[in-house]
Structure 1
Amino acid sequence: MATAEVYNPTTVTDPKSTWFVVPTDTLSKLRFLVKLVEVLLSFVAFILEEVVTSCISCSALYFFEFISCTAFLFTLLLLILLSTKLHRKVGITCWPSLDFIYTAVIAALFLLASIVFSADNSKTSLEQTAVAFGFLSTAAFVVDVVLFWKNNGFPWKKEGKPEASNGNATPATHETERLNTE
């Protein structure tokens, strides 16, 4: 009891000790919201596809199911990792590249799956609604890619920054005169 009286007035909580850290160097608030929308839309597309009870040609349905489930689960995982301190503990150092490439690939695959499923279904309202959510999810992933590109450029492109060398930045200029001239 006495220790609480001594330490409480002078102890300040660390504001960086929270588990949720948005914005970060890898995820802005806007992109966090877009990723949250991606998760929700791909989840709704997956659930709507799962409710379909019969299909004439099921291969398009199964492809759409695989892509929507993959997009939901992996985007949720990426969102959790990038919005918490966990991304620092995983051991991956190329988060921007991983995020950009993953989001672009899922956008392309979701577009392809939505096109294939819209062309080959029974035209029930449930299937058409699932296709609509597939296209909405595709749009969300495309918006995320565009926002990333506009804010950061391509992640693998070097922008004239000096490369790190052993933890220290390399000097930009070199010494041209000798110190001891005789």
Structure 2
Amino acid sequence: MPQREAPGNGTMEVGQVYERTTEPIQSTGGFCNSDYSKKRCIVKVLEVVFSFLAFVLEEVVAICNICHALYFFEFVSCSAFFLTLLLLIILVTSLKRKVERIDWKKVDLYYTAAIALFFVIASIVFAARNGGSDVEKAAVAFGFLASFAFIVDVVLYLIEEKWSTSRKETGPTDTTKRSSENVKGETEPLNEPATV
């Protein structure tokens, strides 16, 4: 059978009764193209980078005087790196839609707040109890940078939630109002011409 070109849907056979009624979703491109905020996405990437650098620098330390502080900092920085990377991947991709029973916003908030607290404690303890080498000082610096990034992420989350809640309460900002005479009832047939 000859084929004809259908606008936006590719090719289809002539005489075909059913046509596709939906168009594929066009990606906007970029890394953070989901409903996750771009600011928070950038902060999450910074959290991953700072946690990774803190972890790597801590691993380079050859000799430790008080190893418990080093081990605690190692555990927190390594956990923060891997779990934040996993959470970032889940939040910016369609994976979060696969598991709908989990409230990902709450998981993100509670996880980020907990890691921020642990990173601050680990950084303070490691800053107070290290050998004073340059590598240890750099690890502590990246630990504090990661802590700051996690705190900023929590603050951004709270600001966005407050803004979205206040916006829902005030209603849409659309100033155009539809009169009841312009809107057809749902009981009227679909193939009837509209009255304006």
Which TM-score bucket, shorter chain as reference?
Answer: 0.7 to 0.9
1:129 aligns with 2:138: yes
Q: Say which of 41, 53, 58 aligns to 1:44.
A: 53
Structure 1 segment 92-171 matched on structure 2, within 5 A? 92-153=101-162
CA offset digits 1:151-171 (Å, max 9, x no partner): 114xxxxx98xxxxxxxxxxx
Q: Give RMSD over aligned pairs.
A: 2.6
Which blocks of at least 5 consecutive residues in structure 1 are unaligned? 154-158, 161-182
- Give TM-score scaled by structure 1 length: 0.75
Mean Cα deviation higher: 8-17 or 124-133: 8-17
Measured after TM superposition, the shift of residue 10 of structure 1 is: 3.8
Runs of 4+ in 1 over 4 A off after TM superposition: 5-9, 16-21
How many positions carry a matched residue from both structures? 152
Alignment CA distance shift 1:144-1:85 (3 Å) = same
Gaps of 5+ in 2: 11-22, 163-167, 170-196
Which structure carries more relative contact order (alpha carbon 8 Å, separation 6+)? 1
Matched-pair contact (CA < 8 Å) for 1:106–1:141? yes
Identity of aligned residues (%): 48
TM-score (normalised: structure 2): 0.70
The answer to whether the Cα contact below 8 Å between 1:21 and 1:85 also exists between their aligned partners in 2 is no
Of the two, which has the highest radius of gyration?
A: 2
Cα deviation, residue 16, structure 1: 5.1
Higher helix share: 1
